[in-house]
Structure 1
Amino acid sequence: MPWKHWNSDRIGVALAVLAAFGFSFKAIFVKLAYAAAPVDAVTLLSLRMVFSLPAFLWIGFTAGNAAPLTRRDWSTLVVLGVLGYYASSMLDFLGLQYISAGLERLILFTYPTLTVLIGVLFMGQSLEKRQVGALLLSYAGIGLAFAHDLQLGGDVATLLTGAAFVFGSALTYAIYSAGAEPAIRRLGSARFAALAMLVSTTATQLHFFATQPLSALVQPLPIYLYGAAMALFSTVLPILWQSAAIRRIGAARSVLIGTLGPVLTIFFSWWLLQEPVSAAQLAGAGLVLAGVLLVSRSKRKPA
């Protein structure tokens, strides 16, 4: 392998690891913010989006693809922006009020299998045996992780409420993932992400002003710091790192490296949040990751 290509490959792997690290830390920031002050999910998400907005506006204005937007483009952006960045994030933030960060990340990481199911149910795709196996592995892992939280004395109704919110987050993100590919091909990944973030920020602020008083934005300093950290280290930078990694090592390898995310979240929730870790939770994480790896494998084409 030529030195230049090998060096680019190493950089790509490092960027993919950094992206997985950043995305996995989002739940940690949310949990830390909830512990620091009685902030609600709507306000916390509003701060995250506002702090992220300048970076994505800059990305959108400097993106090279300047094709004019059609009415259909705007309709697609509105639907996907609301689903992918607003609804999914809101449901995730709500779920983290009820369940551990480790369980949240495992449930959220089922979105690749949900994307497969969406393709089967609504896009005429067939369900392969390996995909059935991936579904069984992933949801068996969720069951083990759920049992782990239940053994710690968690209330069943509370855990089910939190799990339902986070599963809704995974489902809306899966719908977003299934619909985003053609829009990204037309607009480019940077421009699409920037415009979708603009739509999401608008939806978030409308939600905030419709349900919260303006005084809710007055928060203790730690809440602002966690909101800014979440925007920078768990939103803007991971998206840029992931895009750069995909350019160097391809989407398939980037997705595989991204499976580090749940493991990292479990580790940091144990280290920073003092959430206990059990063999059942680790086994559940292993099953979920095995399911994601299985469903992410490309079907081998005949020679």
Structure 2
Amino acid sequence: MSNKIINVKNINGTDFGLAAMPVIFVLLWSTGFIGAKFGLPYAEPFTFLFIRFVLTLMLLIPIIWMMRITWPSGTALWLHIGVSGLLVHGAYLGGVFYGINLGMPAGLAALLVGLQPLLTAAFAGPLLGERLTKRQWLGLLLGLVGISLVLGSKLEFGTSLFAGFGMGALLCVMAALVGISLGTLYQKRYCTSMPLLSGAVIQYIAAGVLLGIGALLFETRQVEWSMTFVLTLSWLVLILSIAAILLLMALIKKGEASRVASLFYLVPPVTALQAWWLFDERLPALGLAGMVIAITGVVMVVRQPRQAAA
């Protein structure tokens, strides 16, 4: 009998857990859009987000102190991190929550802001001097075609409004898309030495101030503290703003950050599936085809070409 032994050392709890971490991260991230849909009937968007950031900071700052995590060094870096927070969290979340509050389906909002890699790639040329390959340009074109099909499938031509929501909702989510895209580039250029967790605290403080001002100026700040709202807020604070960030830190430490980035294109379909199950949000066949085309375009832009074997 042969001495060959099947090697199953990789099939254990530790390796399985590491392999599952990127998928878990994407699943958690996709619930942010669903959380907005659940919580917005009980609080206005800026008020909702301001409360979320305050509670997140109350929990994150003690974690940083207990873990003895260092803070960014230098006033300039603090200011750069603050600006990135205004864009990445303030403009992005504020735009998404306000768009959903105005009636945009959560799945469509996820798809629109999921085009962020396309817009980032388009901005990277003039802002960072990066050149796009032919495949990336094709991906950008596919992304535009796909999103045009999705929006076209929702357009009521007789009224020039989108089914269930108006142009205001679309403009809010597009502002969120521009915010997250510019914020990503700004952070890449000026905040590369930012400690992840303490840097996130600075970003949350900056975004919280912005959204707090927005709540004071434009909202009544009334909150209905129902069980649904409390549970939704708890999920967004504990699972998204804290657990997802700590999971991202673990992934980066394990060298899995690129794997997370490659899986981000799954967020829109996962969100759309959740929204269909929970809220009966549906896309017609043309819209579903557009979603597949748009996601394919995103993959073509963000996926790194394989190195030729030596």
- Specify the TM-score bucket, using the shorter chain as the normaliser: 0.7 to 0.9
TM-aligned CA distance change 1:152 to 1:65, over 3 Å: farther
Please list the CA deviations of residues 59-78 of structure 1 after superposition, one character each: whole Å capped at 9, or x if unmatched: 44345553662121121022
Q: Counterparts in 2 of 1:186-265, with a 5 A limit?
A: 186-213=193-220, 216-217=222-223, 219-265=225-271
1:112 equivalent among 113, 117, 126: 117
Q: Name the CA distance, whole Å, in 2 between partners of 1:135 and 1:101.
A: 23
What residue number does 2:48 align with? 44
1:162 equivalent among 169, 172, 187: 169
Q: TM-score, normalised by structure 2?
A: 0.85
Displacement, 1:190? 2.0
2:57 equivalent among 53, 56, 74: 53
Q: Name the CA distance, whole Å, in 1 between partners of 2:72 and 2:280.
A: 50
Q: Name the CA distance, whole Å, in 1 between partners of 2:60 and 2:158.
A: 42
What residue number does 2:3 align with? none
Q: Does the 8 Å CA contact 1:95/1:166 hold for their aligned counterparts?
A: yes
Counterpart residue type for residue 53 of structure 1: L
Q: Name the CA distance, whole Å, in 1 between partners of 2:160 and 2:223.
A: 31
Q: Name the CA distance, whole Å, in 1 between partners of 2:248 and 2:299.
A: 18
Q: Counterparts in 2 of 1:79-158, with a 5 A limit?
A: 79-96=83-100, 97-150=102-155, 156=161, 158=165
Displacement, 1:95? 1.0
TM-aligned CA distance change 1:45 to 1:29, over 3 Å: same
What residue number does 2:75 align with? 71
SS of the counterpart of 1:3?
Answer: coil
TM-aligned CA distance change 1:2 to 1:194, over 3 Å: farther
Counterpart residue type for residue 92 of structure 2: S
Q: How many residues align?
A: 300
Q: Name the CA distance, whole Å, in 2 between partners of 1:276 and 1:68.
A: 45
Q: Does the 8 Å CA contact 1:94/1:165 hold for their aligned counterparts?
A: yes
Q: Name the CA distance, whole Å, in 2 between partners of 1:86 and 1:235.
A: 14
Q: Does the 8 Å CA contact 1:20/1:259 hold for their aligned counterparts?
A: no
Q: TM-score, normalised by structure 1?
A: 0.87
Counterpart residue type for residue 172 of structure 1: G
Q: Name the CA distance, whole Å, in 2 between partners of 1:195 and 1:206.
A: 17
Which entry has the higher C-alpha Rg, 1 or 2?
Answer: 2
Displacement, 1:55? 2.9
Displacement, 1:164? 2.0
TM-aligned CA distance change 1:112 to 1:154, over 3 Å: farther
Counterpart residue type for residue 119 of structure 1: A
Counterpart residue type for residue 56 of structure 1: L
Q: Name the CA distance, whole Å, in 2 between partners of 1:92 and 1:69.
A: 32
Q: Does the 8 Å CA contact 1:102/1:262 hold for their aligned counterparts?
A: yes
Q: Name the CA distance, whole Å, in 2 between partners of 1:47 and 1:76.
A: 24
Which stretch of the first structure deviates more once superposed, 203-212 or 137-146? 203-212
Q: Does the 8 Å CA contact 2:86/2:207 hold for their aligned counterparts?
A: yes
Q: Does the 8 Å CA contact 2:265/2:298 hold for their aligned counterparts?
A: yes
Q: Name the CA distance, whole Å, in 1 between partners of 2:292 and 2:271.
A: 13
Q: Name the CA distance, whole Å, in 1 between partners of 2:236 and 2:63.
A: 18
Sequence identity (%): 22
Which stretch of the first structure deviates more once superposed, 187-196 or 166-175? 187-196
Displacement, 1:99? 1.3
Q: Does the 8 Å CA contact 2:44/2:219 hold for their aligned counterparts?
A: no
